[in-house]
C-alpha cells in the first residue's frame, strides 16, 4: 500500500470482518454484482497499476505515484464523477420551463417477476415514457422527457419503479410552445393495461422464468402511478 494512502470509507464496510468474503461464500450474487464490487475494491490501489511521475531535473529526487481508477459507474468515486458530468450536460439541454415529476410503480406482488426477469425492466421504462408521449401527441404536442429506472427502494429492498420528469408543455407542428397537463387517472389506466399486456406477452412466448403461482396470478392486479408532484422550474446551465 502506498505511503499515506487512506482507504475509502465504503471499502471499509466491505472489508471489515471479512464482510464481502462472507457474501461471496453465501452465493446468490450475479456476475455483474461481483464484478462491480471487485472493481470498486481495486480502485485506487496497485492492483490496477500505478503511474510514476518524476522531475526532469537530475538533481531533484522527488517522485510522485498515482494509482489508476476503475472507471466503473458503480464505484462511489468514479461513478460520482461521471454522474456529475452527465448532470451538468443535461442541464444545458433542458428547456427552462415548469416540469412535472411522476413515479410509475408496480404492486409488490409483481416485484419478484422482474427480479427473476430483469430484461423486462427495459420495457418498463419504455412503457412509462410512451404513456406520456401518447397523451401529449393526442394534442399534437412534443414534450420534453427524461427518466430513470430505480430497482431498489429507500429501504434498500428490491422495488422496481420509474421516475419520469416531463415538461408542462410541448411544441406543436408549427414550433409553438403550448401548455400541457396530464390526467393522472387516464395515465394510470394506460399504465395498468400496457404493463399487463407486456407481462402476458412475455409469459405466453415462454420468455419469463416462473416465480410462483401467486405472482403469476397477480398479473391481473393493478400497477399504478404512486404520486404526482410539480417540481420547481429547472434552470439551464446550472443557473439559480
**pLDDT of 117 higher than 50:** yes
Where are the strands (E) in 74-232, listed by range? 99-105, 142-152, 158-171, 177-179, 224-230
Residues forming beta bridges with residue 152, ordered by sequence position: 158
Q: CA-CA distances (angstroms) from residue 173 to 97, 142, 143, 179? A: 19, 9, 12, 14
Distance CA 138, CA 210 (A): 37
Q: What is the pLDDT of residues 147-184, one digit of tens each?
A: 999 998 888 899 999 999 999 999 999 999 999 988 88
Write down the pLDDT at residue 4.
Answer: 53
Which residues 6+ apart lie within 8 Å of 202 measured at CB? 117, 120, 208
Distance CA 105, CA 224 (A): 6
Longest dimension (CA), the chain: 78
**pLDDT of 144 higher than 70:** yes
State residue 108 phi and psi, 5-degree precision: -60, -25
Band (pLDDT 50/70/90 cuts) for residue 221 is very low
What average pLDDT does this structure show over 122-145?
Answer: 93
Q: What is the pLDDT of residues 52-93, one digit of tens each?
A: 888 888 888 888 888 898 888 888 888 888 888 888 888 888
Name all domains of the chain by residue range, CATH numbers in brackets.
1-87 (no CATH), 94-235 (3.30.70)
Amino acid at each position: 500500500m502506498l505511503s499515506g494512502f487512506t482507504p475509502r470509507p465504503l471499502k471499509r464496510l466491505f472489508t471489515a470482518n471479512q464482510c464481502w468474503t462472507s457474501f461471496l461464500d453465501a452465493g446468490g450474487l450475479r456476475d455483474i454484482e461481483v464484478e462491480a464490487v471487485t472493481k470498486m475494491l481495486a480502485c485506487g490501489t496497485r492492483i490496477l497499476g500505478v503511474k510514476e511521475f518524476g522531475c526532469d531535473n537530475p538533481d531533484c529526487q522527488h517522485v510522485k505515484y498515482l494509482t489508476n481508477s476503475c472507471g466503473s459507474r458503480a464505484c462511489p468515486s468514479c461513478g460520482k464523477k461521471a454522474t456529475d458530468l452527465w448532470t451538468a450536460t443535461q442541464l444545458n439541454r433542458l428547456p427552462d420551463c415548469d416540469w412535472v415529476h411522476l413515479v410509475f410503480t408496480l404492486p409488490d406482488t409483481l416485484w419478484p417477476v422482474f427480479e427473476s426477469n430483469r430484461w423486462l425492466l427495459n420495457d418498463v421504462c419504455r412503457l412509462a415514457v410512451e404513456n406520456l408521449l401518447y397523451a401529449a401527441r393526442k394534442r399534437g404536442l412534443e414534450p420534453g422527457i427524461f427518466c430513470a429506472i430505480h430497482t431498489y427502494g429507500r429501504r434498500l429492498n428490491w422495488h422496481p419503479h420509474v421516475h419520469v420528469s416531463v415538461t408542462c408543455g410541448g411544441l406543436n407542428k408549427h414550433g409553438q410552445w403550448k401548455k400541457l397537463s396530464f390526467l393522472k387517472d387516464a395515465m394510470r389506466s394506460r399504465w395498468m393495461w400496457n404493463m399487463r399486456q407486456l407481462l402476458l406477452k412475455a409469459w405466453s412466448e415462454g420468455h419469463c422464468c416462473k416465480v410462483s403461482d401467486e405472482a403469476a396470478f397477480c398479473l391481473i392486479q393493478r400497477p399504478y402511478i404512486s404520486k404526482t408532484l410539480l417540481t420547481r422550474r429547472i434552470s439551464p446551465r446550472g443557473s439559480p
